[in-house]
Chains A and B, each alone.
Chain A
Amino acid sequence: MKFRGKIVDVACLNHFTRVVSTISKLTKTCALRLTPDHLFFVLCGKVASGGVAMWCELAQANIFDEYQMEGVSSQDNEICLEVTPENIFRALRTVHNAKSVKVKLTKKHCPCLTVAAELPTMSSVNRVVTHDVPVDVIPRRLWHEFKEPSLPDFDVSVYLPPLKTMKNVVDRMKNLSNFLVVEANLSGQMTLKIETDLVSVTTHFKDLGNPHWGDRTSQDGGSQSPRDLDAMAQARVDIRKLQQFLVGQQVNPSRAICNIVHQTVLHLILLHQDVSLQYFIPALA
């Protein structure tokens, strides 16, 4: 089991740092799966994490200039680690101006992801800094927990409004309530609602557009029975979970999508070039 990757391009380094930063806002620990072509940050929806699940996928070729890995075996050519994204983020952040950064799996006092960076200096010799971020190796028998979640059979799929606007609204609503109702329909409308003893606030977004999922999803599944375009599907969620997701706006996604399974789950997707981030927030009663 071996892994080494090297980043030379500053834009790639910044991009990777932002992705890891976003992940670190979403979860304290998660699994990092390394395959020959991809990196996956995975959080499975356990009760301990409030049922929230996350799946983030990056194509290694778009980040690393060099990328070498050897998995557990030739059949299972993959490495699965439990990581603390915050630590990886801290390591990457201090080397933001590096000429090159290597990320390696190393054996120190314990298995570590080592971030080694060459920093520019005034002298002829570069400054080198290494951060050893302890990780746990996830044994093969537990890998099945970290598979890509299947696309839920959603009732409504809608593009999200500009995340900054949405974040402002959700931040204020968070001051007023702990729960928020997200509603959307197939006419490109979405509303965010809170209601307490003191106040009710409803924000209406319109003309958002509804993505066409084509044959990717169960077109002929349950949601296929022609749905009233104006009928709202809704999910009541923990407002903090949504707030955490919206921090992801720093990734500058080119597409942001919200899928709702009525009163069951809110499925949020951010797409940015090669990176996709999926986030599942379970609906509360």
Chain B
Amino acid sequence: MPLLMQSQSDDDQYVLVATLDNARNLSNILKAIAFKDHAIFTATPNGLRVTVEDSKCLQANAFIQAAIFQEFTIKEDLVGLQINLTVLLDCLSIFGGSTVPGTSTALRLCYKGYGHPLTLFLEEGGVVTVCKINTQEPEEPIDFEFCSSNVTNKVILLSESLKEAFSELDMTSEVLQITMSLSQPYFRLSTFGNAGSAHYDYPKDSDMMELFHCTTTQTNKYKMSLLKPSTKALALSSKVSVRTDSRGVLSLQYLVRNDDGQICFVDYYCCPDEEADDE
């Protein structure tokens, strides 16, 4: 890959350089949070965090640890930028994002700093594509102040079992209600649509339930329109941890395995529908 090699001599001018042998390891996980155009990139020596938000009530984060990259060089403690995620995904899959073994797109991602475009060098089968994506100053991501000490209930499910439920949810229902309880139904998803109500109950001893930890019975409603994008993450993940804190804020953590079997995480935070302040 001559163009990729050649660019390395210019590395000095970049504050951030990251390379991947397989661009899908980045594009796939970004697809899990691609529900709005604007994405905030936050790079630290630990890796890359990409954040997408909606209506101050929903936030999705994708984490790609530095170790996932073949090279991850950062000259500052923190490099932030904002970018159009849809455009980035089109660029990352410029060669079609083939899943055929043996053909993968190599990626070199470079950023000179504020005011400069994010530059991608992509190479597959000797063909090189150079993309320059304009960047903006990053906005400050919302802090949902979700900390594990305030978590009241937590279940870990195999994603497979939630996928079906989510794909069949009654979208005429404005909300998705999540119930976690000490006794039956333990873990319940409910919708209230035009046609009537529907419940999906997961017994706590199901093979699909890896962990059931419930301290108090809690029922919260979340806007369906906000939760719908999280199905993208569900589709890619193998496990999901569902947590609520005392305020009813929902945290969904997805464990995603990439093509090389490495583990990445995607999380979603969602505010409950009722403006229930801390009691």
Q: List the interface of chain A (C-beta within 8 A of B).
A: 161, 164-165, 168-169, 171-173, 175-176, 197-207
Contacts and interface: CB of A to CB of B under 8 A. Distances in A.
Interface of B: 3, 84, 86-87, 90-91, 93-96, 117, 124-134
A165 B134 contact: no
A200 B132 contact: yes
Given A199-B87, A200-B131, A204-B127, 9 more contacts: A165-B127, A172-B93, A172-B94, A199-B91, A202-B129, A202-B131, A203-B128, A204-B129, A204-B130
A198 B134 contact: yes
Given A198-B84, A198-B134, A199-B133, A206 B126 contact: yes
A197 B86 CA distance: 14
Contact of B125 (A165, A199, A200): A165
B130 A202 contact: yes
A197 B84 CA distance: 11
Contacts of B96: 164-165, 168, 171-172
Contacts of B125: 165
Contacts of A176: 87, 90-91
18 contacts: A164-B96, A165-B95, A165-B127, A168-B94, A168-B95, A169-B127, A169-B129, A172-B90, A172-B91, A172-B96, A198-B133, A199-B131, A199-B134, A201-B91, A201-B131, A202-B131, A204-B3, A206-B126
Nearest to A175: B90
Contacts of A169: 94-95, 127, 129
Nearest to A201: B131
Contacts of B130: 201-202, 204
A158 to B, nearest CB: 14
Contacts of A203: 94, 127-129
A204 B129 CA distance: 6
B127 A198 contact: no
Contacts of B134: 197-199
Contacts of A173: 94
Contacts of B93: 172
Contacts of A164: 96
A257 to B, nearest CB: 18
Contacts of A201: 91, 94, 129-132
Contacts of B94: 168-169, 172-173, 201, 203
B138 to A, nearest CB: 16
A247 to B, nearest CB: 15
Contacts of A165: 95-96, 124-125, 127
A68 B174 CA distance: 66
A206 B126 CA distance: 8
